[in-house]
Amino acid sequence: MGKRTVPAVYQVGKVLSYLAKGPNFKVKLTDIARDLGFHKSRVYYILNTLREFGLVEKDPSTKAYSLGPALIFMGEKVLENLDYRRKAEPFLKELARITGCTAFFGKISEGKIYVVAKEYADDGVKITIPLGYRFPLSYGALGKLMLAFGDKEGKRDLLEDERLKLWAERVNLEEELSRFRKEGYAEDIKEMDPRFSSVASPVLDPTNRVIGMVFVVGTFDESTAHLYGPYVASTAKELSKVICGSF
């Protein structure tokens, strides 16, 4: 077990992995405890807790345990993200080639933006943000876009972020948001991190709801950001069509 793991969560992970990889679909409590080397009472409490979330089921006749139906929905989410990645990668590869930056696609889920696809340029700075990394919706150029394209209620929540609020107070906010909507992209010039800049554009569903974002990250200046912006916006528009159908 790693130094920075949480023991209780580690044990839960071991139980779920055992149920997934074991030779039998249904396994009795005593077998799980014996094979994992955990105390029987500990495994009992873990299994009962997992049952509360539908992650584990118990056969009332045999008293054996198996993986639960909630994992089906979790698996569907993973497959959904893999499909987004497959669709996004060719567009990101071309965008990375044109800009010389690292290009990303982030999907919005539960108030966060999750990186589900990325492509590096052959030459240029490689930004090592891992797949699965999540940004708050208020982060840098992403937050500016959400202010421009999101709903009014979401706008109030976004402006609770101190850095985004400071930016909003420093500029003519409505003028800037109008520009983002017109040009289809927003930029962050080394505001969130003094080493890097970003340009982002929204991926929209047929109702013009933001479902994700295409963005590039590099070491460019403001004038270069406006050269890259139309390419990022065009990529996001094309990806919107591929993901959601033509509209």
Burial class (CB in 10 A: 0-12, 13-18, 19+), 199: buried
Cα 204 from chain centroid? 16
Residue by residue, pLDDT tens for the chain (247 residues) are 545 778 889 999 999 989 988 777 889 999 999 999 999 999 999 999 999 888 899 988 899 999 888 877 677 667 666 788 889 999 999 999 999 999 999 998 878 898 989 999 988 778 888 888 889 999 999 999 999 998 877 888 899 999 999 999 999 999 999 999 999 999 999 999 999 999 999 999 888 899 999 999 999 999 999 999 999 999 999 999 998 764 4
Ordered alpha helix ranges (H), the chain:
7-21, 29-36, 40-52, 70-99, 140-149, 152-158, 162-170, 173-183, 222-244
